[in-house]
Amino acid sequence: MLQSVWSGNREVVHIHQGTGQSDVDGLHGLVKKLIHGLEQLGLTVIAVIADNNPTYKLVMSQFATSSPKLDIVYPHPANSSRPLFFIIDPVHLLKCVRNNWICHQNIGRRLTFPDFDTAISAFKTRAVLTASYETVHKFQSHQNPSLYKIGNSTAERTFNPTRLERQSAEKLFTAATAQALKAEMKNLDLQDAAGTATFIEVIAKWWSVVNVKSADDMLPPPNEWQSPIMSMEGPQIEFLGEFIDWLDAWEEREGASGKLAQDTHSALRLTCYSLTELTRYCLEELRLGSVLLGKFQTDRLQDRFGSHKVG
């Protein structure tokens, strides 16, 4: 699917019939052919967005000039002096983080992560916090929907999802959920509630930054994180840099227990780095007045095919 950076226009340009045996070379050739075709029509392709799937990573790695290598940007197939950015879909990554947390096999389904609110990058010099999904589950079983606006009709899907629903992941990672945990941590004797709330807040802020889709001048954004990016000095870019430092500090911790899956961790880092440099390119080279990071997702594709199913 083609998605415009400047407007809400989007269109399906090709439907590929997948096979049981993934053909990386064939799919790479198809992507390259589609990019050339769109460029010949007068369109400018600046990025490819895909799920966090090993096959898609291999496909994109073949755009490297020497040997296949996974990277945030490659020489553009239509003009090697231009960049072609690669982004792993933030919508899919949000679900991956949620699923990694839920599927943790340790007691309490705990993630052990470095504190975010510090300028120190090394893990060993940061405070260590714990986020427990069992704490979230316990809170949900006692929560009052009239207080925190997490209604009973959606609470079960949010905290005990049976499908890979984006909506349930979004409702889990909200400032409201974090605030509710902090408010009730003593009343409900919620173990690890403070660390759990901090982790939810960090991911919720990341999602606010990467999910901005509109720039309606008539409706001011709820906060600075949900504003279009107009400068490389903006708070959103600063946050993405801090998020990368946080991921790097987390990576330094020894052992695999209490961490995100390696493919999720590395994909998050790649996408934050890629979105940062893509924003720089749009503002400084393409001279766009603002950048909406929510344009660089695959949910538009899902929405489009969903409308076909309804029709």
* Residue, of 126 and 291, whose pLDDT is higher: 291
C-beta separation of 37 from 48 below 8 A: no
Q: What is the pLDDT of residue 2?
A: 63
Residue 20 has pLDDT above 60, yes or no: no
Residue 82 has pLDDT above 50, yes or no: yes
- CA angle, 252 then 63 then 271, to 5°: 35
C-beta separation of 68 from 76 below 8 A: no
Half-sphere exposure at residue 130, Cβ-oriented, CA atoms within 13 angstroms? 16
- From the list 75, 50, 128, 72, the residue with the least C-alpha distance to 240 is 72
- CA angle, 218 then 241 then 119, to 5°: 115
Q: What is the pLDDT of residue 139?
A: 83
Q: What is the pLDDT of residue 23?
A: 86
Band of the pLDDT at 34, cuts 50, 70, 90?
Answer: very high
- From the list 267, 199, 276, 202, the residue with the least C-alpha distance to 236 is 276
Q: Where are the domains of the chain?
A: 1-88, 92-269
For the stretch 207-254, pLDDT in tens is 999 999 887 654 666 778 889 999 999 999 999 999 999 999 999 887
| Rounded-to-integer distance, Cα 114 and Cα 129, Å | 6
Question: In the predicted model, what is the mean pLDDT of the chain?
Answer: 83
C-beta separation of 214 from 292 below 8 A: yes
Band of the pLDDT at 309, cuts 50, 70, 90?
Answer: very low
Tokens of 284: 């400084």
Residue 78 has pLDDT above 60, yes or no: yes
User: Which residues, in sequence order, are CB contacts of 180 under 8 Å at separation 6+?
Assistant: 139, 143, 147, 148, 150
